[in-house]
Chains A and B, each alone.
Chain A
């Protein structure tokens, strides 16, 4: 089955700096890679996703890049703000057999943005 590794586990930045979180996956058949933001006690919220036929996607201050050859993808947040502080999870979805759509999550990154 799929295995997703996420680094770093904690990340502390100053307001206005950039933050980068990296994930690697094991199954080359994975073709969908979402990122979720989870605030304390809240639901995971989908913030951006990328599909395997695209190398990069951007949405305002958030961007995701995908390297299929190396099997890794990254989340980039620019001009960070204190409200970006949360736990961020990457995930991979394997489109095969009966597991179609099932998400395998990374371990999470606790991002703290200091004012």
Chain B
């Protein structure tokens, strides 16, 4: 059973470009969470999605950031017009159902904005 997959693992973008980060949850998991980890800091919640629904986006900046989890295909975190402060590791985690259940993390996408 494959774990959570993320791609790309490393992404370099120039200021003003767009970044697209993909996350495929574990088989049988329908809940996806995105977290951001700034250098030498902890993980901060960004958004929680179920298939075709955004459940909680309270941790995601209102501008330039968006997320989706379509009926078919991976979840995508999209950052438009990237700035240097967006440089971080972005992790997604999946869970079989919401609530008090364990979340399994993907390997992360390390975004560098030059």
Which residues on A are within 8 Å of B, measured CB to CB?
Answer: 31-32, 34, 36, 42-46, 49, 51, 89, 93, 95, 98-108
Q: B48 to A105, Cβ gap below 8 A?
A: no
Judged by a CB distance under 8 angstroms, whether B106 is at the interface is yes
CB closest chain-A residue, reference B3 = A43
| Alpha-carbon gap, A99 to B59, bound state (A) | 10
Q: B43 to A89, Cβ gap below 8 A?
A: yes
Chain B 49-76: CB-based contact to A (< 8 A → 1; otherwise 0): 0000001101100000000000000000
Q: B43 to A32, Cβ gap below 8 A?
A: no
- B59 contacts across to A, CB distance below 8 A: 102
The 9 A-B pairs of least Cβ separation, nearest first, read A32-B100, A101-B98, A43-B105, A100-B98, A105-B42, A98-B56, A105-B43, A44-B105, A43-B107
